Amino acid sequence: MTFKPSLLSALLFALPAAAAPWVDTTDNYLRQSLQTLAHAGVLTGPVNSWPLMWKNVAVDLASAEEQPTEELRFALAHVRAALNTNQAGYTAGIKLKASTNPSLYQSFGESYFDKAGATVFKEYLGDNWAAKTQLNYRKLEDGSNEQELTYDGSYLAFIAGNWVLALDQQPLWWGPGQQTALLVSNNARPIPSLRLSRHSWQASDNLLFSWLGPWSFTAFIGQGEHSSTPRQIKHFGARFSARPLPQLELGLSRVSQWGGDGLDSGLGAFGDMLLLNDDDNSNADNLAALDLIWHTTLFNRPYSFYTELADDNSGSKLSKPLQLYGVRTFFGNAAAVHTLNLEWSDSYIRCEEQLAAGNCAYEGESYPQGYRRYGRIIGSGYGADARVLSAGYRYQTFDGYSWALSVLRGEFLAAASDIKNWQLRLEYRQPLLKGLLSVEGRVFDKSPQPELRIKRGSLAVTWEYRF
């Protein structure tokens, strides 16, 4: 059977794509199709670091053959439609948001940090450069110390050979987690950064490194907000990912906080941070993570098993690493595809000098606010001191109508509370007025943060229009 989507369907399906060098972290449905093609070997490199370079996707799709199953043909058509839209030289749009409560548990996809917001953006794609100007007006929660007007999502990128240099404020997601990531996720607002990334994941010709297979690398240096303690904390991060076997994707990540007002922010301090020089005068907190994905087939069904382990590699030593384990599968036909995943994460960790667990993960010796930006952890969307079992289901059609359902059972064991909490999250997407409407509802069996008067249910809506 040959998959033949209509032009209208393809355009609707591709609405979230834009003219950029990379795929960002806002569209989990596109991510599912990319992961499906990676499992099948259509995409040859690692798809465990976001933003994900479009160049790699384009090269592999150009040589892709007819796929043997309907769900793979669906995923291939979906990604090709998004790629075609992305190749436009100019894109502009608006996005409107409203939420009855900010989302406590942030996953890959659209973020709801505020009561309401309005975004306008323009994006340009040249032969060796790309740029996006994004202006966000936000209706903040009472007592917030954040800015009402931000440039989150903006960037200026230049391509030189096989490298991309970007000045940006883009959300990141490092690792294979479907519901959360331990080291870097979109749970907090993005850090303004200077970022260097490998453009193509092509394998090295050097005999010493050719065994790594296709590989990618990205590194950034940035600066935090004015309200942190101390102010103007510096951030450094680097990630290497590779696919040495068609079945195996590997990732190695590191993030450090260093310097800031009142602390040494010079080149010497930067070098000490890079070399993990942990002496009595250290002014850096460091985290590292290792992750992997194993693609296989069991009982004639495709499965991807994955894990991420994160640890503190200076300062307070953890008794065991932060842990994440999961499995993903997919099935479908020419009209729709279903994806399922089951995931467990654990950030309830004891520091070696403590008798009891808690108040350890994402906490730093040099920085009182810990590994956070405006109060939200840069790593796990569930926060610190949490053990969470989650299950997710996604259903998407080529006409742009999509459903997502997730349920989690969590133990949130912060020092001030010990709450066992259920959450049900339902999301629906459809084209509306030449744009894309997303509606998300969340229901809790009990308030996860009663001290903040968080209600037991919330509703959020986004409408985006591109032209």
282 close to 314: Cβ distance less than 8 angstroms: yes
* Cα 309 to the center of its chain, rounded Å: 16
Q: Check residue 17 and give its pLDDT.
A: 65
Print the SS3 string covering 435-449: EEEEEEEEEECCCCC
* Model pLDDT for residues 287-345, shown as the tens digit of each residue: 999 999 999 999 999 999 999 999 975 555 777 899 999 999 999 988 899 999 999 99
The residues, ordered by sequence, that sit 6+ positions from 38 with a Cβ below 8 Å of its Cβ are 46, 47, 249, 295
pLDDT mean across residues, the chain = 89
Task: Name residue 402's amino acid.
Answer: S
- When computed from its CA atoms, the radius of gyration of the chain, rounded to whole angstroms, is 21
277 close to 270: Cβ distance less than 8 angstroms: no
Written as six digits, the tokens of 185 are 């996720």
The bridge status of strand 248-258 relative to strand 234-245 is antiparallel
* Model pLDDT for residues 409-454, shown as the tens digit of each residue: 999 887 556 788 899 999 999 999 989 999 999 998 866 555 555 6
Q: Check residue 7 and give its pLDDT.
A: 40
Whether residue 32 has pLDDT greater than 50: yes
360 close to 348: Cβ distance less than 8 angstroms: no
Q: How many angstroms separate the CA atoms of 405 and 411, rounded?
A: 20
Nearest C-alpha neighbor of 382 from the set 435, 333, 323, 300: 323
307 close to 47: Cβ distance less than 8 angstroms: no
Domain 26-466 - what CATH class?
mainly beta
For the chain, the structural domain boundaries read: 26-466
Confidence label for 352 from pLDDT (cuts 50, 70 and 90): confident
Q: Check residue 307 and give its pLDDT.
A: 98
Q: Check residue 279 and give its pLDDT.
A: 64
Q: Check residue 249 and give its pLDDT.
A: 98
